[in-house]
């Protein structure tokens, strides 16, 4: 992993509800909470995007972050509970956070985990988490 990473201070902002624009594009509660927790100002992005696009990564890149997929190391359709153990084995350093897209009941949700697999930001927490991972990205701030 890149030795030029810096510590990420967490300060999430939670929207009361999704913001849907005239275009139909949305700024969602979960994505906004994760991005702002990483230090991205809420007013620096208009839309948060859908599961299939790379808008979240582009927003992070513009704000000085590197984003790298870890899906091949964790496995698609792995539950969050299983992924927590795998994340600790990645051993990428304490400055790396993991942005995780999970799916359940036809919906997608974004959450943020630390390098030990502990939840940092989850606007829809579960006591026993069986949601399945669709995407997982290591996120780190460059100097």
pLDDT at 50: 61
Residue with tokens 């701030």, as numbered in its chain? 141
Tens digit of each residue's pLDDT (9 = 90 or more) over 71-106: 999 988 899 889 999 999 998 998 999 999 988 777
Tens digit of each residue's pLDDT (9 = 90 or more) over 11-44: 566 656 655 657 666 677 788 888 889 988 888 7
Range of the domain at 52: 5-142
pLDDT at 3: 43
Bridge-based pairing of strands 65-69 and 97-104 is unpaired
Cα–Cα distance measured from residue 37 to residue 59, given in angstroms and rounded to the nearest whole number = 13
End-to-end CA distance of the chain: 14
**What one-character DSSP code corresponds to residue 44?**
G
State how many domains the chain has.
Answer: 1
Mean pLDDT of the chain: 81
Tokens of 143: 């100097």
């Amino acid at each position: 992993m890149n030795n030029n990473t810096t510590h990420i201070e967490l300060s999430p902002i939670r929207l009361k509800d999704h913001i849907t624009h005239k275009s139909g594009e949305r700024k969602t509660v979960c994505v906004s909470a994760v991005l702002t927790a990483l230090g991205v100002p809420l007013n620096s992005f208009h839309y948060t995007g859908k599961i299939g696009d790379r808008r979240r990564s582009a927003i992070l890149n513009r704000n000085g972050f590197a984003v790298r997929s870890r899906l091949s190391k964790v496995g698609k359709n792995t539950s969050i509970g299983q992924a927590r153990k795998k994340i600790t084995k990645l051993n990428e350093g304490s400055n790396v956070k993991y942005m995780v897209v999970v799916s359940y009941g036809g919906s997608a949700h974004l959450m943020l985990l630390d390098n030990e697999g502990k939840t940092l930001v989850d606007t829809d927490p579960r006591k026993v988490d069986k949601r399945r991972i669709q995407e997982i990205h290591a996120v780190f701030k460059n100097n």
